[in-house]
Structure 1
Amino acid sequence: MNRIISRNVLCLSLATMLGGCMVGPDYHRPQVNVPTQYKELPGWTSAAPADDAPKGDWWTAFNDPLLNELEPQVAVSNQTVAQSYANYQAAMAEVQVARSALFPTIGVTGSGSKQRSAAGNAGSGVEHLRPVSTSGSLEGNVSWAPDLWGKVRRTVEENKANAQASQATLANATLSEQIALATAVVDLRVADANIDLLQKTVDADKEYLRVVDNQDKAGTVAPSDVITARTQLENAQSKLIALGVSRAQNVHAIAVLVGKNPEELDIPHNATLPTLPQIPTGVPSTLLQRRPDIAVAERQMAAENAAVGVAIAAYYPSVTLSAADGFAQSPLAGLLQAANHVWSLGANATETVFDFGARHGDVAAARANYEAAVANYRGTVLGALQNVEDDLSGIRILAEQAQVLDAAVKDATRGAEIAFNEYQAGTVDYTTAALAQTTQLSTQQDALSVQQQRLLDAVSLIGDVGGGWSADELAHGPVASSK
């Protein structure tokens, strides 16, 4: 058996000597054109270094206790993240399978048998049973296909890139679900704020109806004013009830995002909106390192490049080396003796002479797949730049709109008070007062809607600049290693 070990060492040494040749193109990341700064940054905020970009628990910048409580659960309990994690584990296993082809396959075979045959004199018709005989063998064997042209190493390279793409997909799924949770929480808070706003409107409309009803009983106003006031109250009540649907759907969405059944989660009413954070964006080139979806596209491109080398390697012959060493004896007694030693060495080589264009087609398909991956990568980068520009423009423009609406809310509130006082004084009809109240509610809802959209754009911007993720994490373990 010492000979087997010696030959294994020899095989490994030969693998090292023969491992310097790999056919196919080496991977180089294609260049993409990125601007030096975002178009929307002037007039909004100055570019900050990438080191100031959100890291880790980015959601804490919104100062919302519900976000702080639930966001960590996404990486643990969200089922979309769990699926991506399982896909990543499978991709890592494929790397292990591919790497194993670089080394010899070593096996041990043992066998034993008993037999007895009949013996007799020719023509006598008399047969005698011979004694039972035993035989056996014990053999170690080694088989190895040296990676002369780098096909196996290109396959390992391809599978490793695919595994890194799966890891980045896991990070992207985690970030996407966290962004979805933050969006749902913002929508829930706004729904609660809208409920409070409409509840105040309902209370005010009840008071207006009481005043108008008293004046109607006194005969100082037209009966139609009572109908108008009652209709206005009922419309406000209807809108208030309808908000219950939106609130319930947001709570259900939040429950599913953290891996719970919709009926399991009960979130108390809270109309306090999250804080609008200041988000440094860095420069556009940092997206190439900070966006996990860009990392997915880049790693897929690397995998397709390696696949070209695998296809090209099919043009070259394959060689397989084999060796066996052991003992064989009949009868079995004394099997492990030098006289029973047997060994063999072998080699075979195969080469395809004619395949009528099959290999050429495989190489052409691999190159085309690589070009498609390059186009997908560049398209992903362009889409990422568009996402950030959209977010920045939304934040900048909505900030200006919010200032105007704040003034409009003050004016509408004051106008509604004046109109109702004038109605009570008899200088205007109730239609004027009702219109002023409707304008006040509509303006307040518009202002709340702009606050909501500013928060959603901030959440979106954090996701579009990569959250707290960095491509450096592809060199380490999985994001959700606690699973």
Structure 2
Amino acid sequence: MKCEGWISAFADRSSRIRFIRPMAALAIVLTEACAVGPDYKAPQTVLPPEWHNKALIDVSLSQSKEASPALWWSSFDDSVLSSIMEKAIKTNKDIMGAEARLREARAKRDFAAGDRLPTVSAAASASRRRGSAETGIGKTTDFYNAGFDARWELDIFGARQRALEAAEASLQAGEEDLRDVMVTLTAEVGINYLEARSLQRRIAIASETLSALNQSYEIARWRKEAGLVTQLDEDQAIASYQQTKAQIPSLEAGLEQNLNRLAVLLGETPGSLHALMAKKMELPSPARGVAVGIPADLLRRRPDIRRAERNLAAATAQVGVATAALYPSFSLTGSLGLEALSTGGLFTANARTWALALSPALTLFDAGKNRANIDAAQARQEQALASYEGALLTALADVEDALSAYVREKRRLEALLAAEAATLSAYKLASDQYSAGLADFLAVLVAQRTLLTMQDQRAVSEVAVLTDLVRLYKALGGGWIRAEDKENS
């Protein structure tokens, strides 16, 4: 509150200026105008000085030149991903909705700004009237007038100032909401793209395994025809082949669904990306680490935290709007124009008219409605503060979870790569021994199935590392800097 002294003395001063000319009183009021309600102060946030998983950062993320999480997909060095991301930001329907909400908030801010200024209107009229002969004035009279009317709701206690503060904060919250939608969108596009590439790779692995199983079947069939083995080996080869073949349709269905989701994220109809994604490509490999920073950086990076803080500022200003209703309101009205009984006299000096009035108003009884409105505004302010604090805690947990998942999945991938190498060696040895008649066919099939499983798990883990990295970027608030923001970033 900016004017406690002025308000406490209001009753005493009103008696002293009772006989002061209206314009002098207006000058005093305007020069001492103030805004009631609490002045907004950003909450003092206490965050941990470092991440709980700091040891993981030192080991896994600081060995290379670190990349800013802003436009994180550029570090993947994948032209298709970059083009898809650029298109999604332009055509995604959620982005369009957020942009429309932002335009609405900007219009409301402009309305609140205009509401503090006078309203001026122009009017003109021409009339002819004949009076009643019974009254003795039974003659015809012409009347002409033209002029300007103005009305100004004086913002003595800051209701409109607080409303403008609330609208400005809401506009800024809308900007952060758009950025938050971008963070979510870019993460979803990245994850779906990477999973699509992974499914393509898994389908290729299954197809390559089918070729190997077909060769094993031909060997088993030849050895059976030569009387070296029984029908069992051939049947086992057929069963293993068909079992592997049965996995491919489910992988293809998953790829189809994934591409359709990606198309929707780009604001396109399902099936529109199949041609673009038809060319098989390996999973991208980011060349740089991540600038994880410290927990305090989230206040700057995460749009959802910034949005919650701006919502708190707007709610605080609304308390002032509600509080101002307890105090008198003042409106200043005036007019300037011309009046005459003929068109010829309308534009003479004697036709000029003017009026000026100051109108105070004060609610004396409202059954406690204004007080209840203040209580409601204060409760909304408390809700906004709780939402802000909750957003902070959620952000911290998001980063800790994403960091842990990313680093530990990388360790899992290292183990799977070692296991795959050993499995491949075992498969080659079993095949050689079977061809030499030193091992039965079941050993070959088991080795083949184990190798397929390990290759598939490795492919799943490879994409999990990348999608966990994308989730880490998202948790850090990456993916929202637009072209117009780059100069200020």
Under a length normalisation based on structure 1, what TM-score does the superposition of the two structures give?
Answer: 0.89
Alignment of 1:6-405 (within 5 A): 17-19=31-33, 21-45=34-58, 54=68, 57-115=71-129, 133-265=141-273, 266=275, 267-276=277-286, 277-405=288-416
User: Cα offset for 1:468?
Assistant: 5.1
Q: Tell me if the contact between 1:290 and 1:469 (Cα under 8 Å) persists in the aligned partners.
A: no
Summarize the Cα distance change of 1:14–1:217 in structure 2 as closer, same or farther, 3 Å threshold. farther
For residues 26 and 357 of structure 2, the distance between their equivalents in structure 1, rounded to whole angstroms, comes to 17
Query: How far apart are 1:119 and its partner, in Å?
Result: 5.5
How far is 1:256 from its partner? 1.6
Counterpart residue type for residue 428 of structure 1: A
In structure 2, the residue matched to 1:3 is none
Counterpart CA distance in 1 for 2:135 and 2:167 is: 68
Amino acid at match of 2:86: P
Gaps of 5+ in 1: 1-8, 123-128
Aligned residue for 1:262, secondary structure, equals coil
Query: Gaps (5+ residues) in structure 2?
Result: 1-22
SS at match of 2:331: strand
Whether contact under 8 Å (1:53, 1:281) holds in the other structure is no
Name the CA distance, whole Å, in 2 between partners of 1:11 and 1:188.
74
CA shift for structure 1 position 165: 0.5
User: 1 CA distance for matches of 2:24 and 2:176?
Assistant: 40
Deviates more, 1:183-192 or 1:350-359: 350-359
Contact 1:297 1:377 in 2 (8 A): yes
Deviates more, 1:254-263 or 1:434-443: 254-263
Q: Which residue of 1 aligns with 2:439?
A: 428
Describe the superposition over 1:183-231 as per-residue Cα deviations: whole angstroms up to 9, x where unpaired.
1110011011111111110110111111111111122112121111111
Q: Aligned pairs, how many?
A: 458
Contact kept, 8 Å, 2:167 with 2:314, in 1: the verdict is yes
Question: Quick one: which amino acid aligns to residue 52 of structure 2?
Answer: K
Identity of aligned residues (%): 28
CA contact (8 A) 1:133 1:331 kept: no
Structure 2 CA distance for partners of 1:77 and 1:12, relative to 1, 3 Å: farther
The amino acid across from 1:288 in the alignment is L
8 Å CA contact 1:166–1:296 kept in 2: the answer is: yes
Mapped contact 1:398–1:450 kept (Cα < 8 A): yes
The alpha-carbon deviation at position 116 of structure 1 amounts to: 5.0
Instruction: Give distance in 1, aligned partners of 2:256 and 2:425.
Output: 34
Aligned partner of 1:319: which letter? F
Could you say what secondary structure the match of 2:55 adopts?
coil
| C-alpha separation in 2, matches of 1:86 and 1:184 | 26
> Counterpart amino acid of 1:107?
S
Question: Could you report, residue by residue, the CA deviation over 1:345-404 in whole angstroms, capped at 9, with x for unpaired residues?
Answer: 212221111222211111111111111111111111111111111111112212221111
The 1:435–1:12 alpha-carbon spacing in structure 2 relative to 1, beyond 3 Å, is farther
Structure 1 pair 344/419, CA: closer, same or farther in 2 (3 Å)?
same
Cα distance in structure 2, aligned partners of 1:11 and 1:447: 82
Cross-structure match for 2:5: none
Q: Would you say the 8 A contact 2:147–2:337 is kept in 1?
A: yes
RMSD: 2.7
Check conservation: 2:56, 2:404, Cα contact below 8 A: no
Q: Structure 1 residues 439-448 or 267-276, which shifts more?
A: 267-276
Distance in 2 (alpha carbons) for counterparts of 1:217 and 1:11? 117
Compared CA separation, residues 68 and 414, structure 1 to 2 (3 A): same
Calculate the TM-score normalised by the size of structure 2.
0.88
SS at match of 2:333: strand
Q: Is the 8 A contact 2:330 2:361 kept in 1?
A: yes
* CA displacement at 1:164 relative to structure 2: 0.6
Query: Mean Cα displacement is larger for which, 34-43 or 196-205?
Result: 34-43
Query: Among residues 392, 416, 419, which one is paired with 1:408 in the alignment?
Result: 419
Give the equivalent residue in structure 2 for 1:6. none
- After superposition, the Cα gap between the structure-2 partners of 1:354 and 1:18, relative to the gap in structure 1 and judged at 3 Å, is same
User: Which whole-Å CA distance do the structure 2 matches of 1:400 and 1:466 have between them?
Assistant: 25
